[in-house]
Structure 1
Amino acid sequence: MRWCPSCCENYWSPSDFGNCRKCYEEANKTKEELKHENDDLKAKVDFLSLPLGLHSPSFSDVVLVASDDGLGHSDAIPVPIPAHRAVLASRSPVFRAMLENEMEESLSGTIKLGDVSCDALHSFVHYLYSAEASLDEGMAIDLLVMAEKYQVKHLKTYCEKYKVSKLVWENALMNFAFARQYNAKILEKAALLLIMDNMDKLSKCEVYIELVEKDPRLVVEIYEAYLSMHSQG
């Protein structure tokens, strides 16, 4: 009999490359986590790749303006945020279309973003340059909506992962409905799995009652997914 060289407690198996089953599975789990982390870092490198010299505000050639001051005061004097056309175009196909064609935004050098607060716009522009954002529930929602509208996929994934990390039963149905509205597949899948694990509570949920009235299609899809899962099992 031989002991596992990693934990020195359990017998090792040749089929597990010289480790006991427990250590073998933990090592594989660590490898999978490292692979996910490495893939995330590669995606971030691709997102951040830019020609040299485009990070200095002194060379900005376009400004972005929010529709309000973050307090719902749409008549407040907007604060322009300087940016670079090349950065915006490389991050977002929507901005690229605006800036490559003779649209008002391209000619004036000012891009006005409706239905967005100054705080959200600042965070959005900061993310376009750094691939980092300070998130809370509200900011994650605002940035995910902007990411969907301007097709910034890396930011959308970033916000979805944050939202998934905050999922609990009490907000699962609300997040599922939100995810469906903004095509957030990662969040949608995670929320649906949590809902299906708590089907006995579903009909008692306040959001459920609202959805039955406003969007019964979503409720039907939840039941269909639940029944499909159990029929396969």
Structure 2
Amino acid sequence: MRCLSCTEKYDVAGTCKECYEELNETEEELKSEIDDLRAKVAFLRFWSPLDHHYPGRPIVPGFTDVALVASSDEPSAGPAVPVPAHKALLVSRSPVFRAMLENEMEESRTGTIKIGDVSYDALRAFVNYLYTAEACLDEQLACDLLVLAEKYQVKHLKTYCEKFLVSKLNWDSSIMSYAFAHQHNAKLMLDSALSLITDNMDKLTTKAEYVDLVEKDPRLVVEIYEAYLSKQVNTAAHKDSSPGL
């Protein structure tokens, strides 16, 4: 028999003793490195003022020096609940927040940053992600956070949301996803949705979402058809060049 690792001959099938011991040592070293990295991440992680917030209890500021508010133009919306944060954290996470808070802008003077067209829950999840790099996503929250991540140039969060949304893509939702991705410069999502659309053109052109897109943004429809025709040409060329045809 030969060892599966070093290919040297030995008596028993599988891995020889020397390679087995070496693999165990490597595995232990990797586990140790992973534990060290986890400890460093835990040490470097910012404490979030939202960590101990529960429904029905007030948020404890915890030396925070700025508040983010989900503002609304609706007078019936009621008073907005502020989301506390630390200026140093916002500045380190977002160049947009840095520009706001390092210059003599209203947000720097008042200590309040108003953010429109966002729900309190989405804003709270956004701020919490800036501290923890964690979010419990569903499709709606992923869309909301992607919009915020693009607006405030938080690239890590945008990529995180985009990958989640791509994992949830299906042909039925591909047109709306394509339009959303195009609006917010989400290239990975854009390419994935476009691929689904061009693979299912016969079914999708009869859907209400497609008709709406034709009326609202015909430019996108042109791009879809260009991609579809290009795929058709490439498929035909590949068939023509295949041997035996």
Q: TM-score, normalised by structure 1?
A: 0.73
Structure 1 counterpart of 2:62 = 58
CA distance, structure 1, for counterparts of residue 76 and residue 43 of structure 2: 35
Counterpart of 1:59 in 2: which secondary structure?
Answer: coil
Structure 2 counterpart of 1:225 = 227
CA distance, structure 2, for counterparts of residue 111 and residue 151 of structure 1: 16
CA distance, structure 1, for counterparts of residue 213 and residue 79 of structure 2: 38
Q: How much does 1:53 deviate?
A: 6.9
- The answer to whether structure 1 residue 67 and structure 2 residue 66 are counterparts is no
CA deviation vs aligned residue, 1:175-206 (integer Å, no higher than 9, x gap): 00010011111110110011111122132121
Contact 1:143–1:155 under 8 Å retained in 2: yes
- The answer to whether structure 1 residue 134 and structure 2 residue 130 are counterparts is no
- The answer to whether structure 1 residue 191 and structure 2 residue 193 are counterparts is yes
Q: How much does 1:141 deviate?
A: 1.3
Structure 2 counterpart of 1:120 = 122
Q: How much does 1:136 deviate?
A: 1.3
Matches within 5 A, 1:14-25: none
CA deviation vs aligned residue, 1:117-172 (integer Å, no higher than 9, x gap): 11111101011111111111211111111111111111111111111111111100
Which deviates more from structure 2 when the two are superposed, residues 169-178 or residues 202-211? 202-211
Structure 2 counterpart of 1:82 = 84
Which residue identity lines up with residue 220 of structure 1 in the other structure?
A: V
CA distance, structure 2, for counterparts of residue 120 and residue 219 of structure 1: 31
Structure 2 counterpart of 1:108 = 110
- The answer to whether structure 1 residue 165 and structure 2 residue 172 are counterparts is no
Structure 2 counterpart of 1:174 = 176
1:97 aligned to which of 99, 117, 140 = 99
Which residue identity lines up with residue 71 of structure 2 in the other structure?
A: S
Counterpart of 2:62 in 1: which secondary structure?
Answer: helix
Q: How much does 1:58 deviate?
A: 2.1
Contact 1:54–1:87 under 8 Å retained in 2: no
Structure 2 counterpart of 1:200 = 202
CA distance, structure 1, for counterparts of residue 120 and residue 48 of structure 2: 21
CA distance, structure 1, for counterparts of residue 137 and residue 75 of structure 2: 23
Counterpart of 1:134 in 2: which secondary structure?
Answer: coil
Contact 1:120–1:142 under 8 Å retained in 2: yes
Contact 1:92–1:150 under 8 Å retained in 2: yes
Structure 2 counterpart of 1:210 = 212
Give the unaligned 5+ runs of structure 1.
7-40
Which residue identity lines up with residue 62 of structure 2 in the other structure?
A: S
Q: How much does 1:4 deviate?
A: 10
Change (3 A) 1:4 1:167: farther
Q: TM-score, normalised by structure 2?
A: 0.70
Counterpart of 1:112 in 2: which secondary structure?
Answer: strand
CA distance, structure 1, for counterparts of residue 84 and residue 172 of structure 2: 40
Q: How much does 1:215 deviate?
A: 0.8
Change (3 A) 1:129 1:140: same
Which deviates more from structure 2 when the two are superposed, residues 57-66 or residues 203-212? 57-66
CA distance, structure 2, for counterparts of residue 165 and residue 53 of structure 1: 29
Which residue identity lines up with residue 129 of structure 1 in the other structure?
A: Y
Counterpart of 2:113 in 1: which secondary structure?
Answer: strand
The aligned length equals 190
CA distance, structure 2, for counterparts of residue 80 and residue 61 of structure 1: 12
Change (3 A) 1:87 1:196: same
Runs of 4+ in 1 over 4 A off after TM superposition: 2-6, 52-57
Contact 1:67–1:74 under 8 Å retained in 2: no
RMSD over aligned CA atoms reads 2.7
